[in-house]
Amino acid sequence: MLLGVPKEIKTDEYRVGLTPAAVRELVHHGHNVLVEQGAGLGAGLDDAAYEAAGATIAADAEEVFARGEMIVKVKEPQPVECRRLRPGQLLFTYLHLAPDPEQTRLLLASGATAIAYETVTDAAGRLPLLAPMSEVAGRMSVQAAAHALEKTQGGRGVLMGGVPGVRPARVVVLGGGVVGTNAARLAIGLGAEVVVIDRSLGRLKELDALYGPAMRTLYATRETIEEAVTTADAVIGAVLVPGAAAPKLIDRPLLGRMQPGAVLVDVAIDQGGCFETSRATTHRQPTYEVDGIVHYCVANMPGGVARTSTFALNNATLPFVLALADKGAARALAEDPHLMNGLNVHAGQLTIEAVAEAQNLTAVTPADALSRAA
């Protein structure tokens, strides 16, 4: 199979779909890899490294999309990239379709097969291809909050870890999954007072066993969220409903009850955000204020640490890339129900019910989509 790796074009996105080491594995399996010139430079991976691994360097994205049978990316395809896709072509990347009707429409019109990293599952029901970026984003969220809390950034002027005789920042983490756990871990390490709120009592028990008195855990109700948020210096939005739009946990009236200069970091912004006042921002302009509350809503947080993120992502995605390349999409999907869960679009058919509900569309099951197109 000929795999294509284009340079990411989303604003401030520096990750790349395949590392030279991943390319070498694919070449060893008998595949060809076409990498756009300069695709890996943002992660410190030059063209010479890709050529040494066996890749061919393409002059531009048009060539990559025109020749590639399978396109491996990081972020969701931008409109110009969607229009380069063709029937029968395979796209493997993050999609986050639920809050993005335009991307959904363009992917359906392309006739391509689109498999989303964020909906691939494992035997335990986890999301193994989302997890590494959730780990990165969770840890970065606390770094971002610490910086945004500085007075010069519009924050309350609170040091995350405090100093002797002065209390530390109070950090509330909404969601105890991968993002929330990593955010809490880093916040604890910085010396903050940490509260994690989740609706899974089992998960709260696990976190309590891991961190003990260094972390407070609260069961998620409207009352507990409101009480915690209104006394917080920083709130990390770390909720996830796989494939669906994120629930809005802080509305505009609640925002008005928060402490002036408090910080909201919305890690769920790729799925529409979990705060009513959230809107996507970039690394160049990461924050804005609403009612005196600083919002950090960068939609590709891990792109800011592109080298770490690229290697972490490839560690997780490479086995699936190899399976798709070795077996072809139809066979690989049929043999692996967890990879099948990643199928979002196939031959003009939507296969994710949560996206259909969010956009008032009709979805079919992945199995039906494959059989109809056969």
Reported as a single tens digit per residue, the pLDDT across 88-105 is: 999 999 999 999 999 999
pLDDT at 372 over 90: no
Residue set of the binding site = 15, 75, 134, 198, 203, 239-240, 267-270, 279, 298-301
If one counts every other C-beta atom within 10 angstroms of the C-beta of residue 284, the result is 8
User: Which pLDDT value is given to residue 374?
Assistant: 65
Residues 282-322 have pLDDT tens digits of: 999 999 999 999 999 999 999 999 999 999 999 999 999 99
The mean pLDDT value of the chain amounts to: 96
Q: What is the mean pLDDT of residues 217-224?
A: 97
Active site residues per annotation: 96, 270
Give the pair of three-digit tokens for residue 205: 């028990």
Residue set of the binding site for substrate = 15, 75
The CA distance from 25 to 31, in Å, is 9
Least confident of 154-163, 169-178, 334-343, 365-374: 365-374
State residue 110 phi and psi, 5-degree precision: -70, -30
Give the pair of three-digit tokens for residue 60: 């531009």
If one counts every other C-beta atom within 10 angstroms of the C-beta of residue 290, the result is 16
All domains of the chain, ordered by start, with CATH? 2-126+306-373 (3.40.50.720), 131-296 (3.40.50.720)
Residue set of the binding site for NAD(+) = 134, 198, 203, 239-240, 267-270, 279, 298-301
| Residue 222 buriedness (CB in 10 A; 0-12 / 13-18 / 19+) | exposed
Write down how long the chain is: 374
CB 323 within 8 A of CB 93: no
Residues with Cβ within 8 Å of residue 303, at least 6 apart in sequence? 8, 10, 12, 13, 14, 15, 74, 75, 283, 309
pLDDT band at 115 (very low <50, low <70, confident <90, very high): very high
Q: What is the mean pLDDT of residues 248-253?
A: 96
pTM of the full predicted structure? 0.91
pLDDT at 137 over 90: yes
pLDDT at 371 over 90: no
Share of the chain above pLDDT 90, in %: 95
State residue 350 phi and psi, 5-degree precision: -90, 135
